[in-house]
């Protein structure tokens, strides 16, 4: 099973989902280091991109060791999307991903994200303008449709392919479902049958069996993992090993996890500076410790840590005690 996006061949058919507030450079690099086929930036608003806002420039920072890496853009004006794509290509993006899946009100009301699934004509103009603006491959991520009555992902996928899109990812929910219900992996098969470019299935993959079932039910070429990687940056690689030849890779030992967390926290501090870095690290450290002994107390103390030194000391104390017990 190989996924090829234009000239780019992924080393494994497993992709880390774009997630605002999660898939920043420190997390992407970590997951990449552990093993994954492709990482994607957080969603970047194309308007903010062309204004070069400080926050946006931070969000599109990338490092050589995470390539191939896709930058995801959202927007509803073809010319602005085209310009934002061009800028990102100039800044080293190897793939541009278009977001037509975001259900968040702020984005949908700006008529971007999944709202575009309701206007196929405008969606096509955006895709076409973006594809024309760059020489790197353009990919598309969307949901199954707006609601149960309009699951038009297969038709929109076909339109996107005709416009030159080189890979399509489907999160098997409608916009109106938000994150409720279950991702409809079987529906993704209709998209797979509608196009020739690779189709990636997404939604609710949190175990190896989920990944296998998604591929079986959808016929997709690969799987995208979002929330299943929270606190488990090694999970995409475990999925890839299992899909390849049923290899069961163990979770890292607690002392290995301790080191992974320490490195991750250091990188967040470096990337954001201490004040913001500590705030962002809290949520990741909380996810890492989920399900471990006395993790609730640990999370309470981590959430109160307001400087790097205190946070690092708490992490060391907790994981040393865990490894000793
Ligand atoms: C916190 C969070 C942020 C997200 N941000 C984005 C985003 O920026 N762009 C996007 O296309 N999807 C975004 N998504 C959707 C995910 O990429 C993915 O489609 C969804 O979570 C379903 O996959 P999962 O069940 O594996 O998490 C986000 C999801 C979450 C939970």
Q: Domains along the chain?
A: 4-245 (3.20.20.70), 254-324 (1.10.1200.80)
Tell me the β-bridge partners of 98. 73, 140
Of 11, 76, 102, 176, which residue is the catalytic one?
A: 102
pLDDT at 108: 64
Per-residue confidence in pLDDT tens, the chain, 325 aa:
899 999 999 999 999 999 999 999 999 999 999 999 999 999 999 999 999 898 899 999 999 999 999 999 999 999 999 999 999 999 999 999 999 988 787 776 676 788 999 999 999 999 999 999 999 999 999 999 999 999 999 999 999 999 999 999 999 999 999 999 999 999 999 999 999 999 999 999 999 999 999 999 999 999 999 999 999 999 999 999 999 999 999 999 999 999 999 999 999 999 999 999 999 999 999 999 999 999 999 999 999 999 999 999 999 999 999 988 7
CA neighbor of 298 nearest in space, from 274, 321, 325: 321
Q: Which protein residue's CA is at the shortest distance from atom 18 of ligand 1?
A: 226
CA neighbor of 49 nearest in space, from 15, 6, 7, 99: 99
With a 6 Å cutoff on the Cβ, whether 99 touches ligand 1 is yes
98 CA to centre of ligand 1 in angstroms: 13
CA neighbor of 225 nearest in space, from 250, 241, 208: 208
pLDDT at 109: 66
Residue 72 annotated as binding site: yes
Location of structure tokens 């049923």? 246
Active-site annotation holds for 176? no
With a 6 Å cutoff on the Cβ, whether 141 touches ligand 1 is yes
């Amino acid at each position: 099973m190989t996924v090829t996006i234009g000239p780019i061949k992924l080393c494994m058919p497993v992709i880390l989902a774009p997630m605002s507030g999660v898939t920043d450079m420190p997390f992407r690099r970590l997951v990449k280091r552990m093993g994954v086929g492709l990482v994607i930036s957080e969603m970047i608003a194309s308007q903010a991109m062309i204004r070069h806002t400080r926050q946006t420039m931070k969000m599109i920072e990338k490092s050589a060791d995470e390539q191939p890496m896709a930058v995801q853009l959202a927007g509803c004006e073809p010319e602005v999307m085209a310009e934002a794509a061009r800028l990102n290509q100039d800044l080293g993006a190897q793939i541009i991903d278009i977001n037509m899946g975001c259900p968040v009100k702020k984005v949908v009301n700006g008529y971007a994200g999944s709202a575009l699934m309701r206007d196929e004509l405008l969606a096509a103009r955006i895709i076409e303008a973006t594809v024309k603006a760059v020489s790197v491959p353009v990919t598309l991520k969307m949901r199954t449709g707006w609601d149960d009555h309009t699951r038009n992902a297969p038709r929109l996928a076909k339109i996107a392919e005709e416009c030159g899109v080189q890979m399509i990812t489907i999160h098997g929910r409608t916009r109106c479902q938000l994150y409720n219900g279950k991702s409809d992996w079987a529906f993704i098969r209709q998209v797979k049958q509608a196009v020739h470019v690779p189709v990636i299935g997404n939604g609710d993959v949190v175990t190896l069996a989920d990944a296998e079932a998604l591929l079986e039910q959808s016929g997709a070429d690969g799987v995208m993992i979002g929330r299943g990687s929270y606190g488990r940056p090694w999970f995409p690689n475990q999925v890839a090993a299992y899909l390849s030849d049923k290899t069961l890779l163990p979770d890292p030992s607690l002392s290995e996890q301790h080191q992974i967390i320490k490195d991750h926290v250091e990188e967040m501090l470096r990337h954001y500076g201490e004040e913001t870095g500590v705030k962002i690290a809290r949520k990741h450290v909380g996810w890492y410790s989920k399900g471990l002994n006395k993790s609730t107390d640990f999370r309470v103390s981590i959430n109160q840590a307001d400087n790097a030194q205190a946070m690092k000391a708490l992490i060391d104390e907790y994981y040393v005690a865990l490894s000793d017990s």
